[in-house]
Each structure stands twice: as C-alpha cells, then as structure tokens.
C-alpha cells in the first residue's frame, strides 16, 4: 500500500512537471488551456476598410456587367494570395425577371487536409436597383452596396490575410457568394419565390467538394455601418441556436456586447437560409437589423446612400474580432 501511494505521488509530480504552470490538471483541461492560449492575430480595421473601398471602386458589382467581372477577378487574385486552394464556381442562373445571369462563387480553402471545418461567407454582388431610394428617379439605378455586400467581404478578406499568416486548429473555408441581391424589384408584378441568394442556392446543391461538410457556418451581411446592432436573426436561432449563443457570448467577452444585444430580430431569407435548408450546415447570419426603419435594415438599405460614407471601421473591427476569436478558439 505504501509503495502504491508512493508510485502515485511520483506519477503526479511527473504529470505536473509536464503541464504549463505546474498545477495538477486532467488532460482535457490542459488541452482546453492550450486552445485558449493560442495567439489570436490582431484584426486590422484599416485593412478591412481598404478591402471594402477597393471593391466599391469597381462600381456596382451587378452580374453581367464589366465592373462585376473586374471585381470578381480581383477577389480571385486576392484569395489566391491568402488561401491554400481557391475554387471558382461559375454557372448561369435565371433571375426572377427571366434574365440569364453569368455568376461566380469564389471559394478559398485554408488547410484542406483538416477534417474539422468552419464555413465563413458573405455576398460579393451588389443590388441592381435602389428600389428603396427616397428619390423614385433612382429606383432602377444600381447601388454601390458598400455595406450590403462589400462590408462582409472586406471583413473576410482581412481574416483571410491573417489566416495565411497564422493557422487555426480547424480548417476554414471562405465563400464569396454571387447573386445574393438580384431578388425581386419592390415594384415588380412577379410573384414571390426563391429569387434571392442564387449563388448560395447553386453552391448548396453543388458544393465545391462532393462530400463537403462543416461544423457550422457564419454569414456576414451588412456588417460595416456606424451604429450597427446585430440582433439574433430568426433562421439562425431556428437552425443554429448554439452557434448564435457561442458568437454572442464571444462578442460579450471581448467588449463588443453592445453591438450584439440579447434580442431576437426578424427572419431574413439570405445566403445562410439555403446553406441550412439544402446543405444542412448549421449557419448563422450576423446582419444589421433596425426596427426603426420600414424595411427593418440599416437606413440606407437598397438606396444610393449605401456607399463608403456609411462604412465605419469600428463596426468592421467589432465583427472581425468576434469572428476571429470564435475561429481561433475552436
Ligand atoms: C429579403 O428581403 C427577402 N432578403 C434580404 C436579404 C438581403 C438583401 N441581404 C442583403 N440584401
Ligand atoms: Zn441587399
């Protein structure tokens, strides 16, 4: 008995010496500690802002236009600088009004060999019409979509840049979906249908890898305006409540809780809806909701006012840091 106790004591001392601070812990706790200790790179909000600005400078990124082609080329080249593998998924889809759209999903894969994966996404196209503009003369004019589209892509390009330098423990896939915003014009007679998120619908039915799966997904939409608030979006709560909880708790823990209130928002049919419904990957939408406007989004939504003037690096930073903390702690 004495001998047994003595051996146990020796084993304990040996285990303690192997630990990081000499206290006695189970192996699981050691792992958890190492995971949180992992260095999280600094999100550069000016760099993210610059990525938004570069996209907007091409002009409205409406499918079948030259600005769309040029912006797509730049996005592909940027992703090729940061990611291990880049897929370009090109196809033609039919818009609600019968227009054939030549579209392109842009997919960056980080650490393709890893089995545990997280999906991050945003839409890179911009809306062909300012159908909520206060001036009816603008109702058929394409918009910059600095917040509605470019902001999410800007945050994800900055995250891609950091992932290229500092790998995570899980594999990350970043998808820029096309043709999210070619949904039915507000004044059109066409009945409602699955008109939004055409690129995401295509990818969900034809993923870049046949067996593609991820633990969860995060969509960023309208994540750059000043005074943004991200309420818990309806489909996110329906399909991925644990992911919502994880992300909102993370934001709170790093001082961004005021942008992520514990409040339920509306249901928004967006790219994540089809990733959930068709691909069955629990995916949330971090989206700016505001119930003081008639449409429920930020005040300049689908107007000519959705330009660089609404973009605030503070909001880009809050969202970028939150997503970085989630993926580096995974
Ligand atoms: C609907 O209005 C049905 N969905 C809005 C999704 C959206 C538009 N996200 C950005 N622009
Ligand atoms: Zn939109």
Could you state, in order of their start, the residue ranges of all structural domains in the chain? 44-328
CA of 264 to the centre of ligand 1 (A): 17
Which of 148, 153, 183 has most ligand 1 atoms within 8 Å of CB, for mutation? 183
Ligand 1: distance of its center to the CA of 85 in Å? 30
Which among 196, 186, 211, 328 has a CA at the least distance from the CA of 272?
A: 196
Torsions phi, psi for 216 (to 5 deg): -160, 170
**What percentage of the chain has pLDDT greater than the value 90?**
88
Does residue 286 contact residue 247 with C-beta atoms inside 8 Å? yes
Q: Is the CB of 96 under 6 A from ligand 1?
A: no
Average pLDDT of the chain, as a whole number: 91
State which of 121, 147, 181 you would mutate to test the pocket of ligand 1, scoring each by most atoms of that ligand within 8 A of its C-beta: 181
Nearest CA owner, ligand 1 atom 6: 270
* Residue 2 pLDDT: 45
The partner residues of 175 in beta bridges, in order of sequence, read: 107, 121
Tell me the backbone φ, ψ of residue 293, rounded to 5 degrees.
Answer: -100, 160
- Of 160, 196, 203, 199, which is closest to residue 177 (Cα–Cα)? 199
- This model's pTM is above 0.85: yes
Mean of the pLDDT values across residues 79-108? 98
Calpha distance 251→37 (Å, rounded) = 18
- Spacing, Cα 246 to ligand 2 middle (Å): 26
Residue 32 has pLDDT above 90, yes or no: no
Instruction: Tell me the pLDDT band of 12, cut-offs 50, 70 and 90.
Output: very low
Task: Give the pairing type, strands 171-177 and 117-123.
Answer: parallel
C-alpha to C-alpha distance for 61 and 37, rounded to whole angstroms: 41
Task: Classify the phi-psi angles of 190: left when phi > 0, otherwise alpha if psi is within -120 to 50, otherwise beta.
Answer: beta
What are the angstrom distances between the C-alpha of 30 and each of 113, 159, 171, 214? 25, 27, 22, 26
The 8-class DSSP code of residue 40 comes to P
- At 62 the pLDDT is 99
223 alpha carbon, closest ligand: 1
CB 266 within 8 A of CB 296: yes
Say if residue 20 is exposed, middle or buried (CB neighbours under 10 Å; 0-12, 13-18, 19+): exposed
Quote the ligand 2 centre to 241 CA distance (angstroms). Answer: 24
Q: What is the C-alpha end-to-end distance of the chain, expressed in Å?
A: 43
Domain 44-328: state its class.
alpha beta
pLDDT bracket for residue 37 (50, 70, 90): low
């Amino acid at each position: 008995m004495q001998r047994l106790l003595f051996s146990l004591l020796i084993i304990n001392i040996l285990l303690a010496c192997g630990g990081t601070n000499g206290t006695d812990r189970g192996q699981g706790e050691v792992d958890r500690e190492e995971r949180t200790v992992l260095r999280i790179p600094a999100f550069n909000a000016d760099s993210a802002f610059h990525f938004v600005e570069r996209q907007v400078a091409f002009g409205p990124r409406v499918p079948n236009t030259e600005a769309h082609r040029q912006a797509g080329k730049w996005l592909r080249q940027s992703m090729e600088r940061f990611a291990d593998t880049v897929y370009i998924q090109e196809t033609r889809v039919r818009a609600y009004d019968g227009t054939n759209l030549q579209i392109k999903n842009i997919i960056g894969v980080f650490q393709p060999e890893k089995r545990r994966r997280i999906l991050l996404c945003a839409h890179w196209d911009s809306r062909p019409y300012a159908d909520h503009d206060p001036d009816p003369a603008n109702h058929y004019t394409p918009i910059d979509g600095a917040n509605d589209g470019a902001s999410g892509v800007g945050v994800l390009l900055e995250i891609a840049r950091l992932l290229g330098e500092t790998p995570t423990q899980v594999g990350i896939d970043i998808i820029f979906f096309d043709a999210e915003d070619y949904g039915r014009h507000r004044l059109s007679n066409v009945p409602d249908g699955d008109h939004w998120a055409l690129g995401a619908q295509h990818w969900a039915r034809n993923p870049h890898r046949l067996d593609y799966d991820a633990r969860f997904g995060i969509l960023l939409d309208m994540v750059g305006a000043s005074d943004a608030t991200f309420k818990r979006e309806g489909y996110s709560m329906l399909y991925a409540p644990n992911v919502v909880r994880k992300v909102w708790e993370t934001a709170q823990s790093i001082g961004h809780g005021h942008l992520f209130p514990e409040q339920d928002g509306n249901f928004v049919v967006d790219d994540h809806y089809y990733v959930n419904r068709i691909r069955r990957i629990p995916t949330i939408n971090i989206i700016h909701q505001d119930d003081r406007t008639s449409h429920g989004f930020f005040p300049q939504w689908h107007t000519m006012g959705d330009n660089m003037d609404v973009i605030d690096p503070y909001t880009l930073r809050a969202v970028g840091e939150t997503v970085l903390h989630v993926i580096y702690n995974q």
